[in-house]
Amino acid sequence: MDYFISWWEIYFRREAKVAAQKAAKKIKPDEWPLIMEDTKRRVKYYDYNKTDKKHRPLGASYLNGRRWEDEYDDPPVQNDKNNEANEFISLAKNKWNSTFPNDASPIIKAAFFRAGRHWRDWQMLAQENPDMARDEILRHLNNEPYTDRKMKAAGDE
């Protein structure tokens, strides 16, 4: 099996292939499983941290520098509720969705109806303050009761 071809298919920066092939010839066969595993982890790491492509090592630099031996923290695992919230915000930000999309997942539909907000209100909130919109829809995805901040503040007085 040509380890380099399999690795190159998943590597996150496919530039300077000839130099990477040259560096790959120096790698022992028993190191390739570690390299493959680390490359998969790095893809997640770079995506999570939104690392610009120019700050990701070229293949030859990765292999020659034995970067699979580096230590770094894995990105936190996002749970399904976070993914659903992000999908909801994407739907709300899409200007072509003038009404609530029928093809939204059942979980998102339930949270939308539980929230009791008009779709256009969600769209405005997602454009103006996406973090607030995300926090609010997460409460409804987690089936937490809605507490109006104004009512709570008035009740505290």
Q: Is 75 within a domain?
A: no
Look up the domain containing 132 and give its range: 80-156
Q: What is the pLDDT of residue 64?
A: 96
Average pLDDT over residues 23-51: 88
The tens digit of pLDDT for each residue in 66-84 reads 999 998 776 665 566 777 8
Q: How many Å apart are CA 79 and CA 122, to the nearest integer?
A: 22
The tens digit of pLDDT for each residue in 82-114 reads 778 888 888 888 878 788 887 787 888 888 888
**15 contacts: CB under 8 Å, gap ≥ 6:** 58, 59
Looking at the structure of the chain, the number of domains it has is 2
Tokens of 98: 């003038």
Q: Model pTM?
A: 0.49
For the chain, helix (H) and strand (E) counts, in that order, are 9, 0
Q: How many Å apart are CA 29 and CA 17, to the nearest integer?
A: 19
Q: What is the pLDDT of residue 68?
A: 93
Q: What is the pLDDT of residue 19?
A: 96
**29 contacts: CB under 8 Å, gap ≥ 6:** 3
Q: Is 90 within a domain?
A: yes
- Is 59 in contact with 19 (CB distance < 8 Å)? yes
Q: Are residues 54 and 104 in the same domain?
A: no
Read off the pLDDT band of 33 (50, 70, 90).
very high
Q: What is the pLDDT of residue 34?
A: 94
Q: Are residues 39 and 95 in the same domain?
A: no
